[in-house]
Amino acid sequence: MFSSEELKFAKPGAVRTRIAPSPTGLLHIGLARTALFNYLFAKQCQGSFVLRIEDTDLERSSPEYENDIIENLKWLGINWDEGPDISGKYGPYRQRERLDTYKKYLDILLKDDKAYYCFCSEEELEVKRQYQMSQGEAPRYSGKCANLPKETVKKYLAEGKPSVIRFRVASKKVSFNDLIRGRLEFDMGLAGDIVIAKDVSTPLYNFAVVIDDFEMKISHVIRGEEHISNTPKQILMQEALGFPRPEYGHLPLILGTDRTKLSKRHGAFGITDFRREGYLPEAIINYMAFLGWNPGDEKEIYSLPSLVKEFSLEKVQKGGAIFNIKKLESLNGFYIRQRSIEKITELCLPYFIEAGLIIPIFEEMQYPPAYGGKQIIQKYKNSETEKIITLDVLQKIISIYHERLKKNSEIVELADFFFKEKLEYDKKLLKWKGMNDGEVRDVLNKLENILSEISENNWTKENLGNVLLLEAERIGPALQKDRGYLLWPLRVALTGKEASAGPFEIAEILGKEKTLNRIKTALYKIS
């Protein structure tokens, strides 16, 4: 399963990967995919997976976003061995709690003259950048402050002159073997000295990540390809501080179906949004695994344990991974069908409640201590009629749409008619293949007469189907019509929709009285 480079670190416990999100936004599909690949690689090697919160950007970071990241990773089943909520040997795991550590290493770089204070103003730097670009040159720092006398530096700092700390970038070529892309090389003579801290107490990303990866003994850094240009900078800082170099692997970007940068217009939302829409965690995990990885066969269904067994960095592609919301919906539909009706009903109920179609009610029941004592029984009622809706009925409603659901939130649009007293639809919808109003009236009258004769005891989908299909077969040849001539107006009268589950299943759940009332309403509408 491992390449020769990977095997060097494949001893149990030797591999340590990490996911290091900044809590400046909600957990998105790209970061979740990166977390998944790090988790899979660590677990396959019997190593450790670390969660580190990179929150040095105090202005943009928030506990709300950190909680969202932690909660959604756990919901997906991507659990870590060390992190801010469970501690560990190499903590703390929030960068804001590690400022003294960064200061220690910044002081070392400054003392060894491998970093220096830069007092150039942003306006001055911008003018220089614009000039370099006008000359066709890549923007880079000129080195104006690189050799200021120590006395001048002390004077400026004492005066409180605005400054940053720059790292001296060696003018040499830096190469490394990317576990996904092979050998990569960069001419750092073109980069210029880079800013690594606003001051000794405020480190920036490229510096802090080097310190954290070293202190936390990270062996493999697996991250998105947008970080490729950061890697040689971090390698130079590792060399300057005498740190060992971890192995690097850069995952392909996730693109939309039009091969542009992924965005909400492609259907890509935060993981919280996918949860609200009714996607299942196992579907998202399965789908994310294929965003850049291919097992090399036709198999498409993978549980998290099977991914741990089968995953390999050698099978991660270099080119962009295409996010296709239709594929995710299809996969989610598959996983919904694997869940029991009881479980899917439990997951769908909140959507009915949020839509105002049903209202949960709670009854406190008293039982003898031997039978459990006090219990809270939850029931539901129709928000329009105040009638109690049993869990059995709700499960029947869900069951007839179980095969159709691509995400649980769709249940409201599919099944709202069960809870409404009055259906809003255009009378034209009642017509099947060019029927006129008179034909629709005749069919509805026939349906009312036939169904009125069926007793409550025989009001089952099986019996309704037998009776109505027999009638459809009888009148069809005489009128040169197919069975839709009879069944289409019935379906529309019962649901008010162009597409729905079968009319026999729907009629059974609605019951005789409500079914006949809806046929009468349709007759009134067509008249």
Q: Which of 272, 350, 276 is nearest to 72 (CA)?
A: 272
Sequence-distant (≥ 6) Cβ neighbours of residue 167 within 8 angstroms? 109, 114, 115, 193, 194, 195, 196, 207, 233, 236, 237, 240
Concerning whether 43 is annotated as a catalytic residue, the answer is no
- The CA distance from 175 to 307, in Å, is 31
Q: Which residue has the tokens 């299909």?
A: 469
Sequence-distant (≥ 6) Cβ neighbours of residue 467 within 8 angstroms? 450, 454
Q: What amino acid is encoded at 435 in this protein?
A: M
Q: Pick the catalytic residue from 264, 309, 343, 520.
A: 264
DSSP 8-class letter at 268: -
Which is it for strands 247-251 and 220-224: parallel, antiparallel or unpaired? parallel
Sequence-distant (≥ 6) Cβ neighbours of residue 67 within 8 angstroms? none
Sequence-distant (≥ 6) Cβ neighbours of residue 476 within 8 angstroms? 482, 483, 485, 486
Other beta carbons less than 10 A from residue 278's beta carbon: 21
Other beta carbons less than 10 A from residue 123's beta carbon: 8
Q: Which residues are catalytic?
A: 264
